Amino acid sequence: MVFNHPEMSKPFLEQLNWRHAEKNFDAEKTLEDAQLNAILEATRMSPSSFGIQPYHVYVVSDASVKTKLRAAAYDQAQFTDASCLLVFASRTDHMKRVDQYFEYASDGDAETREKLKGYEDMMRGFIQNMPQEAWKPWADRQTYIALGFALAAAAELEVQSCPMEGFDTKQFDEILGLPEHMKSVVVLSLGYSDGSPARSKVRFPEDDLFTHV
């Protein structure tokens, strides 16, 4: 994938009030490749604990697959009307992921990898010390940082989006043929609004959310 930077109208911080969870996508409108690629690039570049990026994203544009997913998601129209669905799956093959990380970090060079051994051992120690039942929630949390970056990128590009958790994750895993170590956790639908007015935005005030110390 070649990353072509699309023309941008306004920075992310100027898009905070406009963006919202889009409920009414125009099923006829399709994202441009440059927009989708920019959103995926923001996802790819998002930070994660130790940088191990314990997730995989299914980028669903195929109409028949979207129809199957909708049936496993309480028939919510966004699943077929959105131009594209990013189905985020979190991974639990952390030790294999560490190995892959250092393969990339050393560019496959044994000497470079040896120099990174202290860091690798520390990372493995951290994961081994984590109780097994914490492995998936930890991966889920890292996945949601990537979701946040995808949402921020979509807002900057003035692409409408809607993050969605209301679906049968097991059915999604089956439909997409996920391997055992990946489980779908959240979907980001992307596209263009059909022009219906959005529900007005509610956000908690500063004094509810922040305490200055």
Q: CA nearest 155: which of 31, 33, 25, 14?
A: 14
SS3 (DSSP) at 168: coil
CA distance 139 to 132: 12
Per-residue buried b or exposed e for 188-203, using 16+ beta carbons within 10 Å of the residue's own CB: bbbbbbeeeeeeeeee
Q: Which is nearer to a second copy, 45 or 95 (CB)?
A: 45
Q: Name residues contacting a second copy, limited to 50-89 (CB under 8 A).
A: 51, 53, 55-62, 65
What minimum distance in Å lies between the beta carbon of 109 and a second copy? 14
* Pick 110 or 211: Cβ nearer a second copy: 211
Task: Check binding of 21 to a second copy (CB under 8 A).
Answer: yes
Q: Point out which residues pair with 160 in neighbouring strands.
A: 191
Site for a second copy in 136-155 (CB under 8 A): 137, 140-142, 144-149, 151-153
Least distance to a second copy, CB of residue 71, Å: 16
Pick from 98, 127, 159, 185 the residue near a second copy by CB under 8 A.
185
Q: Which stretch binds a second copy (CB under 8 A): 23-31, 71-79, 98-106, 189-197?
A: 98-106
Closest CA to 179 of 95, 91, 100: 91
